[in-house]
Amino acid sequence: MAIDRDAALAVLKKFGKAFNSGDVNSILECVTDDFEWILNSGSEVPHGRLIKGREAVARALAERMREFKSMRFFDTELIYADEHVIGAFRLQATRADGSSIDARGCDIYAFRDGRIARKDSYLKQIGAGA
């Protein structure tokens, strides 16, 4: 079943604004109760790191807020593909230790009942040994 582009865009706009502002409650309003967030790094084969459920997402976002002093997503582009939306972006962030990230990435979103059911994240690995 194809995605309703207008509905997906409205949810993704709210989701993106909430991510940029660190508004956890608004992020959680955009996702299903059984939401899966597949992070671009971690030790869980083959995912990296798989986070399931709204409570686990809230904990992961709290971790992220401790790890990063600032994080901003921009230069976004949405690509609609039948039952998924691909969101390409540029990320600039500063970690708590002062190091920074400036990289491009993408998320593959799946929707259910007007909310995001899965976010599979990919990020360019830039630097020595990447």
Query: Which ranges of 68-117 would DSSP assign to H, the alpha helix?
Result: none
- 3 state SS of 69: strand
**Domain tally for the chain?**
1
Note the pLDDT tens digit of each residue in 68-111: 888 888 899 999 988 899 999 999 999 999 999 999 999 999 99
Cα(74)–Cα(14) distance, rounded to whole angstroms? 14
129 inside domain: no
130 inside domain: no
Give the contacts of 102 (CB within 8 A, at least 6 positions apart): 90, 91, 92, 126
Does the pLDDT at position 2 exceed 80? no
Residue 129 or residue 7, greater confidence: 7
CATH value at residue 35 = 3.10.450.50
Range of the domain at 17: 5-123
* Cβ contact 64:42 at 8 Å: no
* Cβ contact 111:8 at 8 Å: yes
